[in-house]
Structure 1
Amino acid sequence: MPLHVPPAPAPALRTVLTALSSPTAVREARTPSLLRARGPVTPELPLPVHVLDHVAADGVPSVRLAGWRFLIRSGERAVAAADTMPTADGWAFSRFFEGPYVTATESALRQAETMTQPFQPRLLSVPGLYMLTLWLHGDLTADAAAGRLQATDLLVPLAPAPPGIAAHRPHRVADLLPVLTLRSTPAPLLRTTA
């Protein structure tokens, strides 16, 4: 298998397991698919979630770790996801959720498993475009919490992707980053003279 899924911090996993075992946490999450799940549910495929804050004038992206996401599996498929976030004391459970990104993440991971080159999977959020990508990092020994995009890494936009960006199509960072930078830069205000 070409994907080398990094281990999540043990305290982050414990917070998800605790939330899953709490009927109150699951009920208050209001994720119908998690409430309807038959049989045991398990957190799997932990992925570090990084956020693209900005791209400097020299083209170097600023990326930071925002948390870890676990796909929650029931039977043969992921029915929800659980997010954790770093705190001053370690890790805290953040939320359960469902929706298109859960299915899209699972689909993109299956797609990445068919590639010949090995990768370390991560998620990269681009808040300025309301976009989430599967980030396939080429350095398998890298610390998953370290956020350094390499030009040869691949980004696979998850559906729904912004207009004009094809979902589930792998792009090299060197090719997609300029597009993301241009799209997320606010247009200058036009001044009119009277």
Structure 2
Amino acid sequence: MPLHVPPAPAPALRSVLAALDSASAVHDAHTPALRSLEGQLSVELPLPVHVLEPVTSVGRPPRTRLTGWRFLIRSGERFVAAADTRLTADGWAFSHFFEGPYVAATERALRQAEAPGTRYQPRLLSVPELYMLTLWLHRGVGADPGSGLPGAADLLVPLAPAPPGIAAYRPHPVSELLPVLTHRLAPAALATPA
């Protein structure tokens, strides 16, 4: 699955680069890896971050919205942290640095998705109510990375740690995983027939 990584908005990238150059932003971050590293850091693999909106009615197709861009930060041969940006009234702005399991999980899922085959545009899809993050492999490689819904030809790859009963790193067709997520997210009153 060769990946076509979309370019991030230039202001989002600039905000991350400025934060990396700021000693106070790096020092104040809850990322010991960034504070302890010496040498060159690079910002790579910009991924649009979409959030699956709460399910409000049974049968309504799930909706997503773009909430930011995530950049992986490399030191040498490995990714050590990530930086998130968010859209403000003034445009794209740096939000925060972080490290933890999703950095390595994103790298692993992207590496797996590089296998030959169908081309995809990588995105991240967050499901906050389930504390879940997936690599969304969008079939429309030339599509606007800030819009769109998971389509029938797309794949969702849950990142570790995944919720109980959902296999991490296994590519799921949208038609297989989205109904499971929708069922788990549907309010009890909506899930029960009258």
Both proteins in one fold, TM over 0.5: yes
Aligned residue identity for 1:123: L
CA distance in 2, matches of 1:59, 1:152: 19
Contact in 1 for aligned 2:49/2:123 (Cα 8 Å): yes
Post-superposition CA distance 1:94-117 (Å, at most 9, x none): 000000000000000000001411
Matched, 1:35 2:35: yes
Give the aligned partner of residue 18 of structure 1: 18
CA-CA distance at 1:61 after TM superposition: 1.3
Give the aligned partner of residue 8 of structure 2: 8
| Greater than 6 Å deviation, 4+ residue runs | none
Contact in 2 for aligned 1:65/1:147 (Cα 8 Å): no
Task: Classify the secondary structure of the residue corresponding to 1:54.
Answer: coil
Give the aligned partner of residue 186 of structure 2: 185
Contact in 1 for aligned 2:62/2:182 (Cα 8 Å): no
* TM-score normalised by length of structure 1: 0.93
CA distance in 1, matches of 2:95, 2:136: 22
CA distance in 2, matches of 1:176, 1:169: 11
Give the aligned partner of residue 69 of structure 1: 70
CA distance in 1, matches of 2:29, 2:116: 35
Q: Gapped runs of 5+ residues in structure 2?
A: 190-194
* TM-score normalised by length of structure 2: 0.93
Give the aligned partner of residue 46 of structure 1: 46
1:149 to 1:2, Cα distance in 2 relative to 1, 3 A: same
Post-superposition CA distance 1:125-179 (Å, at most 9, x none): 0011010000000011100001321022000000000000000000001110110
Aligned residue identity for 1:61: P
**RMSD over aligned Cα atoms:** 1.2
Give the aligned partner of residue 112 of structure 1: 113
Aligned residue identity for 2:51: V
CA distance in 2, matches of 1:164, 1:71: 28
Q: Gapped runs of 5+ residues in structure 1?
A: 189-194
CA distance in 2, matches of 1:140, 1:183: 29
CA-CA distance at 1:42 after TM superposition: 1.1
Contact in 2 for aligned 1:50/1:147 (Cα 8 Å): no
Question: Percent identity between the aligned chains?
Answer: 69
